[in-house]
């Protein structure tokens, strides 16, 4: 008995050590609500705090709605989250088994072996959500000979954004840091299930402009109205036209598959303080994975959520990946 007990101690120690040692965070839903769908969320941008917003969105999706969610982070070798590290996002192989990817990269240049998993997923016919800066998710400056340099925002046609959602980086239509965004329901598509229960969307980020050749086959769900200030009660800037900020688009793969993609150019961590924006994202997760959208999805935050204001080099320093574990 004593020998068995002693032998079992290393096994127990290893099992405890194995929880939370991977360089990513996984949120497992309660068994009673688990829906069998898996989502991988890609954080990695220098400005809009995806390393804060996506873990909260993943907690809501898992604990309120039954999705298995894994968040990947831009990080240094010691597991410290570093949005400025554009080449290291461990766990990209997890996209191989995902039912949905939520992509909030900005100007990443991943090793080819990691990028292959991303491109394979894109061409699999599975859905993707492209959030804020992910229209310009990649920037190839070190390895311009990579076969994946065609996805760089500097590539002809706009790289990944141009290929997948019809838009790469364009311009700040609103005055960045001075004018915020009111989301207006696109009346022609107001019955789209992704808009179920969505009426009041506001965020402190500014409206992105779109190109004159914005794709004609896009299904616009929200238009972005520029407000003259940084508060939701501020009046609109009537000198600036509304611009599409949330739309659906089909991406046709080279082998004839079709991937449904939702693009949202609103979606910074501070934007996600808007309950109806969170609801839109949750609705999209249901709809894109083939599940019925709830009549009014519960988007109550899980734990504390006090995201930092957007800005370069303003992220919380010395945060480890597993500081985001569900407490």
Query: Which is nearest to 182 in space by CA: 263, 262, 243?
Result: 243
Burial class for 245, CB neighbours closer than 10 Å (0-12, 13-18, 19+): buried
Averaged pLDDT for residues 160-175: 96
Radius of gyration of the chain (CA): 20
Given a cut of 60, whether residue 13 has pLDDT beyond it is no
- pLDDT band with cut points at 50, 70 and 90 for residue 22: very high
Q: How confident is the model at residue 255 (pLDDT cuts 50, 70, 90)?
A: confident
* Residue ranges covered by each domain of the chain: 23-171+247-324
Mean pLDDT of 5-10: 38
pLDDT band at 1 (very low <50, low <70, confident <90, very high): very low
Per-residue model confidence (pLDDT) at position 294: 98
* pLDDT number for residue 14: 31
**What local confidence, expressed as pLDDT, does residue 300 receive?**
98
Predicted pLDDT of residue 254: 82
Instruction: Indicate the average pLDDT of the chain.
Output: 93
pTM of the predicted model as reported, rounded to 2 decimal places? 0.93
Give the pLDDT confidence of 278-317 residue by residue, as tens digits.
999 999 999 999 999 999 999 999 999 999 999 999 999 9
Which of the pair, 10 or 167, is modelled with greater confidence? Answer: 167
Contact 270, 310 (CB under 8 A): yes
**Per-residue pLDDT at 20:** 63
Half-sphere exposure of 306 (CA within 13 A, CB side): 2
Q: Cα dihedral angle (211, 217, 222, 228), rounded to 10 degrees?
A: 20
Q: What is the mean pLDDT of residues 174-201?
A: 98
Residue 262 has pLDDT above 70, yes or no: yes
Percent of residues, the chain, with pLDDT higher than 90: 92
- CA-to-CA distance for 206 and 176, rounded, in angstroms? 6
| Cβ atoms within 10 Å of 274's Cβ, excluding its own | 22
Chain segment 33-53, per-residue pLDDT in tens: 999 999 999 999 999 999 999
pLDDT at residue 327, as a whole number: 83
């Amino acid at each position: 008995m004593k020998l068995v007990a002693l032998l079992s101690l290393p096994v127990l120690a290893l099992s405890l050590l194995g929880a939370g040692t991977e360089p990513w965070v996984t949120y497992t839903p309660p068994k009673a609500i688990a829906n069998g769908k898996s989502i991988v969320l890609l954080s990695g941008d220098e400005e809009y705090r995806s390393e804060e917003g996506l873990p909260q969105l993943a907690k809501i999706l898992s604990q309120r709605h039954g999705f298995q969610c894994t968040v990947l982070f831009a990080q240094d070798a010691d597991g410290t989250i570093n949005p400025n590290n554009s080449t290291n996002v461990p766990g990209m192989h997890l996209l191989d088994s995902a039912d949905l990817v939520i992509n909030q990269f900005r100007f990443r240049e991943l090793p080819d072996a990691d990028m292959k998993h991303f491109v394979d997923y894109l061409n699999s016919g599975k859905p993707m959500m492209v959030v804020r800066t992910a229209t310009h998710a990649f920037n190839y400056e070190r390895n311009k000979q990579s076969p994946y340099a065609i996805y760089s925002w500097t590539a002809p046609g706009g790289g990944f954004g141009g290929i997948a959602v019809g838009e790469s980086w364009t311009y700040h239509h609103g005055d960045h840091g001075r004018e915020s965004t009111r989301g207006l329901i696109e009346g022609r598509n107001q019955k789209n299930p992704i808009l179920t229960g969505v009426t009041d969307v506001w965020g402190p980020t500014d409206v992105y402009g779109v190109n004159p050749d914005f794709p004609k086959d896009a299904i616009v769900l929200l238009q972005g109205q520029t407000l003259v200030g940084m508060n939701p009660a501020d009046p609109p800037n009537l000198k600036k036209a509304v611009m599409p900020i949330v739309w659906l688009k089909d991406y046709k793969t080279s082998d004839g598959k079709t991937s449904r993609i939702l693009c949202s150019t609103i979606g910074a961590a501070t934007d996600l303080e808007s309950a109806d924006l969170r609801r839109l994202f949750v609705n999209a997760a249901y709809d894109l994975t083939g599940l019925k959208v709830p009549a009014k999805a519960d988007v109550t935050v899980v734990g504390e959520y006090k995201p930092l204001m957007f800005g370069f080099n303003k992220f919380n320093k010395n945060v480890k990946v597993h500081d985001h574990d569900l407490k």
